[in-house]
Structure 1
Amino acid sequence: MSSVDQQLDELRTEIKSELPSDISVSEVKYEGPELVVYTRDPKEFAQQGDLIRQLASKLRKRITVRPDPDVLAEPRDAREQILSVIPDDAGVSDLDFHKDTGEVVIEAEKPGMVIGRHGSTLREITKEVGWTPEVVRTPPIESSTVSNVRNFLKQERDERRDVLERVGRQIHREEMSDEEYVRITTLGCCREVGRAAFVLSTPETRILIDCGDKPGAEGEVPYLQVPEALGAGASNLDAVVLTHAHLDHSALLPLLFKYGYDGPIYTTEPTRDLMGLLQLDYLDVAAKEGRTPPYDSEMVREAIKHTIPLEYGDVTDIAPDVKLTLHNAGHILGSAVSHFHIGDGLYNVAFSGDIHYDDTRLFNGAVNDFPRVETLVLESTYGGRNDYQTDQDDAEQNLKRVIKETYEKGGKVLIPAFAVGRSQEMMLVLEEAMRSGDIPEMPVHLDGMIWEATAIHTTYPEYLRDELRDRIFHDDENPFLADQFNHIDGGEEERQQVADDGPCIILSTSGMVTGGPIMSWLRHLGSDADSTLTFVGYQAQGTLGRRIQNGWDEIPIDDDDTGRQSTLSLNMDVETVEGFSGHADRQGLENFVKTMNPRPEKVLCVHGDESSTQDLSSALYHDYNMRTFAPKNLETFRFV
């Protein structure tokens, strides 16, 4: 008998000893980080609401209780009983029964009403029918991504359960080494922006954090070939943790499965959906530009199938000697600061990913409240000594000024924007400015993936800023549904119509002018001296966006009809409105560290140009008397 089987036998005995005699336990197994308890008495379990919580506390494990399939009410009968328990106002749109696990997935417009106070309605459902309810939100804006991900995971349930059981056994395996060390190896994004990737290793475990590309630098990928990563084989990795979905952090995750990785990816649920959206677009753009993609769409599906979503604040075992907790990073939807607790109190490491320290219109500011962090790996995108961003109110006033001036000339405002995060922030600013009369009402056209990314945002309002979430939840005032917003879905013909019409605002991907529909808009509007190209986000070195910011007025552009490259004279005004970045500025980064209690002993400053990482590292060392580093790629740090 393996050590895991023996452990499960002991857990089953202990659970039975803790339960009342009228509640049976037929099977106990691991599925990913969760311990799943099967019972023939689900209704009795549900009647004792605190029982699962008490068991989880006693065993120090996340526990899910499921009914044996042969004690379940028939789906036809159960459907009527479930709907009689749930308030009509919940807006239930679908019930999906899975007899193999005894789960019923309830899709509703207002999941909170299905859950009930402290889960009371869920327990009532189980008491009535025996089925274990799982609740998901009906997207207020129809999302093909959310729908496709849910349908795909439904089709792959059997294989996904096999994956989870295998992962669960791997997590709870017996520790084999008596050694103690903690190491971090940098595989990318050191003294540069992009291709984020790190390996966190102990004698037992190797975890990859992020695996992204580098904007504007084709072929520059993380150093995955080194022994710490895939050099010794993909099975060398125990787990992958993704901080957020932006491609400079997520683009190359599917490549791991091409090379044989078969383990879990831990991230938040919205990051999983956005990751799939952006990765498929990444393949599409590569094909359109005549480049050979590094993987195919099947690998994207594999990545989604292997993703185990976690909620903020949940402490989760991901290896025999590592617990992971994700916290809001304030950067984009679902972005997370990843905190690793290693060993039995041995060491703690936090990876910031990309953070925004202060509240924005879209998100609450980044969380930095951890019981312990000895080492912090900190982004430094705006870590330079002069990288102080404009106050958000001033930024909004500057944007409104640009819009009003362009409107008065009869021109159009063209804003290159990242589909995820920046675009939704812009939408909130523009909706309020028009509603309050600060700028004239005019169409706001959304091109590229912006509408789909916005739909995903509305699917997960619990990840948005408190006030915005409340508007969406309670007031039926969803600002993303304002009449001004128009989804461009008619291609070149619709773009030509917009170009021929009157003043408007256009939000278009790609945010760094490296391809996508923004190139079409430049062909349509680039020669129009009355229109304004307005940058609201970071433009990385080597991108066309950075070159235009630096004064280029003759830009290379592909002709849609012939495919040949020509030169476009850019007559539009070019403006940069600072203050809308999803990244903390220099002050925000310092405040993130300063207000940590206790502060870390060491800080690795990464994900920034060389001067930015070195400036921030030097400042933190001098101001807070901590050991700081601005590492290069392929350095390894040992902490224990």
Structure 2
Amino acid sequence: MSTVEKQLDDLKETIASEVPPDISVTEVKYEGPEVVVYTRDPRKFAEDGDLVRNLASKLRKRITIRPDPDVLSAPEKAREEIMAVIPEDAGVTDLDFHEDTGEVVIEAQKPGMVIGRHGSTLREITQESGWTPEVVRTPPIESSTVSNVRDFLKTERDDRRRILEKVGRQIHREEMADDEYVRITTLGCCREVGRASFVLSTPETRILIDCGDKPGSEDEVPYLQVQEALGAGANTIDAVVLTHAHLDHSALIPLLFKYGYDGPIYCTEPTRDLMGLLTLDYLDVASKEGRTPPYESEMVREAIKHCIPLEYGDVTDIAPDVKLTFHNAGHILGSAVSHFHIGDGLYNVAFSGDIHYEDTRLFNGAVNDFPRVETLVMESTYGGRNDYQTDREDSEERLIEVINETFDRGGKVVIPAFAVGRSQELMLVLEEAMREDKIPTVPIHLDGMIWEATAIHTTYPEYLRDDLRDRIFHEDENPFLADQFNHIDGGEEERMDVAEGDECIVLSTSGMVTGGPIMSWLEHAGPDPDNRLVFVGYQAQGTMGRRIQSGWDEIPIGGEGGRTQRLTLNMDVETVDGFSGHADRAGLMNFVKTMNPRPEKVLCVHGDERSVQDLSSGLYHDHNIRTFAPKNLETFRFL
């Protein structure tokens, strides 16, 4: 008998001894980080709200209770029983029964009403029907991404269970190593912005954190080929952790599966969906620009299938010697500060990913309160000595001034924006400004993936700022449903009509002018000096956005037959700081200053050379912390 099988037998005996004698335990399995307990008495489990909680506390495991398939009532009968329990105001739109696991997926407009206070309605559903409920939100704005991901995972349930059981056995395998150390190897984003990637290693485990591209570069990718990463084989990596979905962190995650990786990806649920959206678009843009994509769309589906979503605050075993906890990073939807607890109190490392420390219109500020942290790996995008962003309110006032000035002369405002995060932030600013008559109410055209990304935001309001979440729960107060928002879905013809029409605002991807529909808007709106191009986000070195920001007024665009033509920009160019999803110098310093506990060491990464060195020096002098500004391919040993 294997160690894992013996472990499962012991778990089954322990669980059986802890539950009342009239509750059966027929089987115990590992599925990913969870222990799944099968029983012929799901109703009795549901009757005692503390039973599962006490078991999880005793075993220090996440526990899911499932009914044996042979004790389930028929789906037709169960549907009636379930609908009789759920309040009508919950707005149930679908029930999907899975007889192999005894789970019923309930899709509802108001999931909170299906869950009930402290899960009371969920327990009542199981008491009445015997089925184990899982609740998902009906998107207020129809999202093809959310629907496609849910449908895909439904069709792949058998394969996904195989993956989860395999992962569960890996997590709960016996520890073999006698040595003790913690190492971090930098594979990208050191003294540069983009291609974020790191390996966290112990004698027992190897974890890859992020795997992104570099904006404005086609061939600079993370150093995955080194021995510490995939050089010894893709399956020497035990787990992948994705901090958020922006392409400079996620673009090459699917490439891992092309190389043979078959393990888990830990991320939040919205990060999973956004990764699917952004990486598929990444492939589409590469194809349209005549570049060979690094992987096929099938690899994106593999990545989604291997995702294990975690919620903020859940402490989760991801290896025999590593526990992972996600915390809100305040950057984009689902972005996470990733905290790793290694060994039995041996060492703790936190990776900030990208963070915004102060509250924004979209998100609560980043969490920096942890049980323990010895080393912090910290983004430094705006870590330079003079990288202080304009106050958010001043930035909004300046944007409103720019828009009114442009409309006064009969022009249009074109804003290159990242589809995820900055676009939704701007939508909230513009909707409020029009509602309060600070700017004229005109159409706001959303081009590229912005509308789809917005739909995903409304699917996961629990990840948004508290007051915004409360508004979205009531559909008539959902600011993203304002009438002035128009999704551009008519291609070049619609863009030309908008460019030749009345005053309006255009939000278009790509945010750094590296391709996509923004190139069409420059072509249609750029020659008119009454129009204005407004930058509101970071423009990385080497991108067209940085060049235009620096004064370029002639830019290359694709012409007929693949020939490159030059376009003269007569439109004004304006930069309005303060809308970045990144903390500025003060925010980064305050994140560390107020961090509980204060880390012993900080690795400053994800910033140009000046930014990381300035931040590293500032943290050392102000807080007497050992700091580093590593280069790519350095390895740090902490024990």
Give the TM-score range, shorter chain: over 0.9
CA distance in 2, matches of 1:564, 1:525: 21
Cα deviation for residue 562 of structure 1 reads 3.2
Q: Which residue of 2 aligns with 1:388?
A: 388
The superposition leaves residues 430-482 of structure 1 with CA deviations (integer Å, 9 ceiling, x where unpaired) of 00000001111100000000000000000000000000000111463000000
CA distance in 1, matches of 2:403, 2:84: 52
Runs of 4 or more, structure 1, over 4 Å off, are none
Q: Which residue of 1 aligns with 2:333?
A: 333
Q: What are the residue-to-residue correspondences of 1:567-578 with 2, within 5 Å?
A: 567-578=566-577
Q: Which residue of 2 aligns with 1:212?
A: 212
The superposition leaves residues 339-385 of structure 1 with CA deviations (integer Å, 9 ceiling, x where unpaired) of 00000000000000000000000000000000110000000000000
Q: Which residue of 1 aligns with 2:78?
A: 78
Cα deviation for residue 500 of structure 1 reads 1.1
Contact persistence 2:140–2:475 (CA under 8 A): no
Q: Which residue of 1 aligns with 2:99?
A: 99
CA distance in 1, matches of 2:562, 2:419: 25
The TM-score, its normalising length taken from structure 1, stands at 1.00
Q: Which residue of 2 aligns with 1:508?
A: 508
Residue type matched to 1:574 in 2?
A: V
The superposition leaves residues 285-312 of structure 1 with CA deviations (integer Å, 9 ceiling, x where unpaired) of 0000000000000000000000000000
The superposition leaves residues 317-346 of structure 1 with CA deviations (integer Å, 9 ceiling, x where unpaired) of 000000000000000000000000000000
Instruction: Give the percent of matched residue pairs that are identical in Structure 1 and Structure 2.
Output: 83
Q: Which residue of 2 aligns with 1:536?
A: 536
1:343 aligns with 2:335: no
Q: Which residue of 2 aligns with 1:486?
A: 486
CA distance in 2, matches of 1:624, 1:74: 64
CA distance in 1, matches of 2:597, 2:300: 39
CA distance in 2, matches of 1:251, 1:555: 26
Q: Which residue of 2 aligns with 1:162?
A: 162
CA distance in 2, matches of 1:501, 1:275: 35
CA distance in 2, matches of 1:610, 1:281: 30
CA distance in 2, matches of 1:562, 1:255: 31
Q: Which residue of 1 aligns with 2:597?
A: 598
Residue type matched to 1:612 in 2?
A: S
Contact persistence 2:364–2:464 (CA under 8 A): yes
The superposition leaves residues 492-544 of structure 1 with CA deviations (integer Å, 9 ceiling, x where unpaired) of 01001101111000000000000000000011011000000000000000000
Residue type matched to 1:256 in 2?
A: L
Residue type matched to 2:144 in 1?
A: S
1:452 aligns with 2:455: no
Q: Which residue of 2 aligns with 1:15?
A: 15
Contact persistence 2:448–2:509 (CA under 8 A): yes
1:519 aligns with 2:519: yes
CA distance in 2, matches of 1:90, 1:392: 36
1:203 aligns with 2:203: yes
CA distance in 2, matches of 1:48, 1:565: 69
Q: Which residue of 2 aligns with 1:442?
A: 442
The TM-score, its normalising length taken from structure 2, stands at 1.00
CA distance in 2, matches of 1:588, 1:49: 42
Q: Which residue of 1 aligns with 2:153?
A: 153
Q: What are the residue-to-residue correspondences of 1:14-93 with 2, within 5 Å?
A: 14-93=14-93
Q: What are the residue-to-residue correspondences of 1:294-373 with 2, within 5 Å?
A: 294-373=294-373
Residue type matched to 2:49 in 1?
A: G
User: SS at the partner of 1:113?
Assistant: helix
CA distance in 1, matches of 2:561, 2:199: 45
Q: Which residue of 2 aligns with 1:247?
A: 247
Q: Which residue of 2 aligns with 1:635?
A: 634
Q: Which residue of 1 aligns with 2:619?
A: 620
Q: Which residue of 1 aligns with 2:123?
A: 123
1:424 aligns with 2:424: yes
User: SS at the partner of 2:562?
Assistant: coil
Cα deviation for residue 597 of structure 1 reads 1.9
CA distance in 2, matches of 1:20, 1:337: 40
CA distance in 2, matches of 1:604, 1:476: 46
CA distance in 2, matches of 1:134, 1:389: 43
Q: How many residues align?
A: 639
CA distance in 2, matches of 1:56, 1:175: 22
User: SS at the partner of 2:476?
Assistant: coil
The superposition leaves residues 36-69 of structure 1 with CA deviations (integer Å, 9 ceiling, x where unpaired) of 0000000111111110001001111100000000
Cα deviation for residue 563 of structure 1 reads 2.5
Residue type matched to 2:191 in 1?
A: R
Q: Which runs of 5+ in 2 are unaligned?
A: none
Q: Which runs of 5+ in 1 are unaligned?
A: none
Cα deviation for residue 598 of structure 1 reads 1.6
User: SS at the partner of 1:476?
Assistant: helix
CA distance in 2, matches of 1:597, 1:354: 19
Contact persistence 2:212–2:222 (CA under 8 A): yes
User: SS at the partner of 1:556?
Assistant: strand
CA distance in 1, matches of 2:259, 2:545: 34
CA distance in 1, matches of 2:382, 2:551: 22
Q: Which residue of 2 aligns with 1:585?
A: 584
CA distance in 1, matches of 2:407, 2:88: 46
CA distance in 2, matches of 1:344, 1:468: 39
Q: What are the residue-to-residue correspondences of 1:184-203 with 2, within 5 Å?
A: 184-203=184-203
User: SS at the partner of 1:378?
Assistant: strand
User: SS at the partner of 1:323?
Assistant: strand
CA distance in 1, matches of 2:370, 2:48: 33
CA distance in 2, matches of 1:241, 1:465: 24
CA distance in 1, matches of 2:413, 2:516: 18
User: SS at the partner of 1:524?
Assistant: helix
Residue type matched to 2:320 in 1?
A: P
CA distance in 2, matches of 1:160, 1:466: 33
CA distance in 2, matches of 1:338, 1:256: 20
The superposition leaves residues 101-138 of structure 1 with CA deviations (integer Å, 9 ceiling, x where unpaired) of 00000000000000000000000000001000000000
CA distance in 1, matches of 2:344, 2:64: 25
User: SS at the partner of 2:135?
Assistant: strand
Q: Which residue of 2 aligns with 1:545?
A: 545
